[in-house]
Amino acid sequence: MRIAVVGLGHIGLPLAVQYASRGHDVLGVDIDRRIVDAVNRGESPHDDEQTLIDRVPELAAAGRLRATTWSEPAGMREAEVVVVIVPVVVDAEREIDFAPIDAATRDIAANLGPNTLVVYETTLPVGTTRTRFGPVLAAAGSSSTATCSWPSLRSACSSAASSLTCAATRRSSAGRARRARAGRSSSIGPSSSPRPR
* Residue 175 covered by a domain: no
Q: Which DSSP state fits 180?
A: H
For residue 116, give the CATH number of its domain: 3.40.50.720
Q: Is residue 117 part of a domain?
A: yes
Give pLDDT, residue 160.
32
The span from the CA of 110 to the CA of 91, in Å, is 29
32 part of a folded domain: yes
Q: In which residue ranges of the chain is pLDDT below 50?
A: 149-180, 182-197
Reported as a single tens digit per residue, the pLDDT across 84-141 is 999 898 888 999 999 999 999 999 999 998 888 999 988 888 889 889 999 999 887 6
pLDDT for residue 163: 32
CA 180 from centroid of its chain's CA atoms: 33
Question: Has residue 144 been placed in a domain?
Answer: yes
**Per-residue pLDDT at 58:** 97
Domain range spanning residue 12?
2-162
- Give me the number of domains the chain comprises: 1
pTM of the predicted structure, to 2 decimals: 0.74
Provide the pLDDT for residue 187.
40
User: What is residue 115's predicted lDDT score, i.e. its pLDDT?
Assistant: 86
Nearest to 81, CA basis, from 3, 29, 14: 3
In a domain, 133, yes or no: yes
Residue 46 backbone class (left: φ over 0; alpha: ψ -120 to 50; beta: rest):
beta
pLDDT reported for residue 140:
76
* Distance, CA of 92 to CA of 8 (rounded, Å): 26
Q: Please provide residue 61's backbone torsions phi and psi, each rounded to the nearest 5 degrees.
A: -65, -35
Domain membership flag for residue 172 = no
Per the domain annotation, does 143 fall within a domain?
yes
29, 5 in Cβ contact below 8 A? yes
Q: Residue 142 domain-assigned?
A: yes
